[in-house]
C-alpha cells in the first residue's frame, strides 16, 4: 500500500532536467523517468543555465536534475514546491546548499560517477601537452612535417592537489607510466596515499618538485583563486599545470603571465572562470595551452552513471525515501516530519 501511494505521488510530480547530457549515449533513463512522473521539463537552451533563466522554469517544479546551473537563493525562492535538487555530477558549488536547507530542500549529488572519466581526461591533457599533440596535428594537416621534441612521462614527478576519488584514479594511471607521484590533501593520511604509491607532502614542496601539477579540489571560499601569482612562482620552472576541476580555482591573468614569461611550459584546461570563456580570453590564443569545453565527465560510462544516480536520488526524495547521496542530510532533522513524498 505504501509503495502504491508513493507511485501515485510521483505521478503528480513535475521534474525539471537541466543537465544537458542526461540520458545521452544510453537513453534508458529518459523513458523511465517520463513513465514514472507526471511531467518532465527539459533545458530549453542545451547549456548550463543562469539564475534568471531558471527562475521562470522552476514554478510548480517538484524536483530538479541539475547540471552546472546557477541555483542561488533567488531560484530557490521562486521554486514554490521544490523538494529536491539532484546534482548530475559531484560538485555543488553552484547550488546555494545553505539556502536549500533553510527551505527544506534536499540536495544530492553523484559521488564517484565520473571519477574515472575525469582522471582519463587529466592523463590525456598531460600527454597532449608533453607531446605537443595539438601543434603536431595542426602542422601535419597543413602539409608540414615538423620535428618535435616532446617530454616523456616516465620518471617525471606529478603533483596531485586534492587526493579524493578523482585524484586517486589519476594516481592509479600514473603508476603505469612509472611517474613519481606527490599528493597534497590535508584530509588524507600517509597510509592512504601510500596505497596509491603516492608521497604525501606539503603544498610548497609539491609545487617545487613537480613537473606536472594537476588540480582536483572542490571549489570553496578557501580554494577560489588558490592558483595565483604566488602559487605559480612556487611551481618548478618549465612545469605544466592541468585543471579538470573548476575554472575559478585559477587566477587566469596570473596564469597567462606565467606562461608568457616562460616560467610555465604550458597548461591543459577543461574549465574556465567564465564558461564558455569570452572570445578574447588570452588563454585561448597561447599555443602552449590546450583547452577543452568542461568535458571531463562526458564519457559513455560516466554519463550513464550520473543519469542513473541523479534520477534515483530525485525519485527517492519524491517518494518519501532517503536518497543514497544526500549533501545536506541535516535537512531531515530540521524539517523532521515534512512530507517529501507529495507535491
- Among all residues, which ones are annotated catalytic? 246, 275, 294
| Other Cβ atoms closer than 10 A to 2 | 9
Q: Please spell the DSSP secondary structure of 186-206, one letter per residue.
A: TTS-HHHHHHTTEEE--HHHH
What residue spans of 196-299 are helical by DSSP H? 203-209, 229-234, 252-260
Confirm if 131 and 150 have CB atoms less than 8 A apart.
Answer: yes
Confirm if 268 and 128 have CB atoms less than 8 A apart.
Answer: yes
Q: Give me the long-range contacts of 339-343 (CB less than 8 A, separation at least 24).
A: 340/83, 340/84, 340/106, 341/5, 341/6, 341/9, 342/9, 342/12, 343/9, 343/12, 343/13, 343/14, 343/62, 343/81, 343/83
Report how far residue 216's alpha carbon sits from residue 193's, in angstroms, rounded to the nearest whole number: 15
264-269: strand order across its sheet: 198-200, 180-184, 157-161, 212-215, 239-243, 264-269, 289-291
Q: Which three cell numbers stand for residue 12?
A: 503528480
Report how far residue 23's alpha carbon sits from residue 220's, in angstroms, rounded to the nearest whole number: 29
How wide is the angle at C-alpha 153 spanned by C-alphas 148 and 159, nearest 5°?
Answer: 125
Phi, psi at 150, each rounded to 5° = -105, 180
Cβ-count burial of 329 within 10 angstroms (0-12 exposed, 13-18 middle, 19+ buried)?
middle
Cα–Cα nearest to 78, from 43, 111, 51: 51
Report how far residue 143's alpha carbon sits from residue 247's, in angstroms, rounded to the nearest whole number: 35
| Other Cβ atoms closer than 10 A to 260 | 12
Amino acid at each position: 500500500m505504501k509503495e502504491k501511494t508513493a507511485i501515485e505521488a510521483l505521478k503528480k510530480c513535475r521534474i525539471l532536467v537541466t543537465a544537458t547530457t542526461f540520458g545521452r549515449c544510453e537513453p534508458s533513463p529518459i523513458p523511465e523517468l517520463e513513465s514514472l512522473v507526471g511531467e518532465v521539463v527539459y533545458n530549453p537552451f542545451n547549456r548550463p543555465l543562469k539564475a534568471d533563466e531558471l527562475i521562470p522554469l522552476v514554478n510548480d517544479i517538484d524536483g530538479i536534475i541539475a547540471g552546472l546551473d546557477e541555483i542561488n537563493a533567488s531560484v530557490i525562492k521562486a521554486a514554490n514546491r521544490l523538494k529536491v535538487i539532484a546534482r548530475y555530477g559531484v560538485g555543488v558549488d553552484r547550488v546555494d546548499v545553505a539556502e536549500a536547507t533553510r527551505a527544506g530542500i534536499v540536495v544530492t549529488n553523484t559521488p564517484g560517477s565520473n571519477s574515472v572519466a575525469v582522471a582519463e581526461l587529466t592523463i590525456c591533457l598531460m600527454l597532449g601537452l608533453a607531446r605537443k599533440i595539438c601543434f603536431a596535428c595542426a602542422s601535419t594537416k597543413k602539409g608540414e612535417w615538423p620535428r618535435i621534441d616532446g617530454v616523456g612521462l616516465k620518471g617525471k614527478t606529478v603533483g596531485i592537489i586534492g587526493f579524493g576519488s578523482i585524484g586517486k584514479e589519476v594516481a592509479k594511471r600514473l603508476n603505469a607510466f612509472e611517474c613519481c607521484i606527490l599528493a597534497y590533501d590535508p584530509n588524507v593520511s600517509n597510509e592512504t596515499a601510500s596505497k596509491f604509491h603516492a608521497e604525501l607532502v606539503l603544498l610548497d614542496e609539491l609545487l617545487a618538485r613537480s613537473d606536472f601539477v594537476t588540480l582536483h579540489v572542490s571549489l570553496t571560499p578557501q580554494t577560489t583563486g588558490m592558483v595565483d601569482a604566488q602559487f605559480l612562482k612556487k611551481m618548478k620552472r618549465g612545469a605544466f599545470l592541468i585543471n579538470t576541476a573548476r575554472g575559478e580555482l585559477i587566477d587566469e591573468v596570473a596564469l597567462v603571465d606565467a606562461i608568457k614569461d616562460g616560467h610555465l611550459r604550458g597548461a591543459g584546461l577543461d574549465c574556465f572562470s567564465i564558461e564558455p570563456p569570452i572570445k578574447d580570453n588570452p588563454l585561448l590564443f597561447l599555443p602552449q595551452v590546450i583547452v577543452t569545453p568542461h568535458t571531463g565527465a562526458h564519457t559513455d560510462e560516466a554519463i550513464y552513471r550520473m543519469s542513473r544516480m541523479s534520477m534515483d536520488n530525485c525519485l527517492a526524495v519524491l517518494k518519501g525515501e532517503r536518497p543514497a547521496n544526500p549533501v545536506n542530510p541535516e535537512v531531515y532533522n530540521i524539517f523532521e516530519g515534512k512530507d517529501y513524498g507529495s507535491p
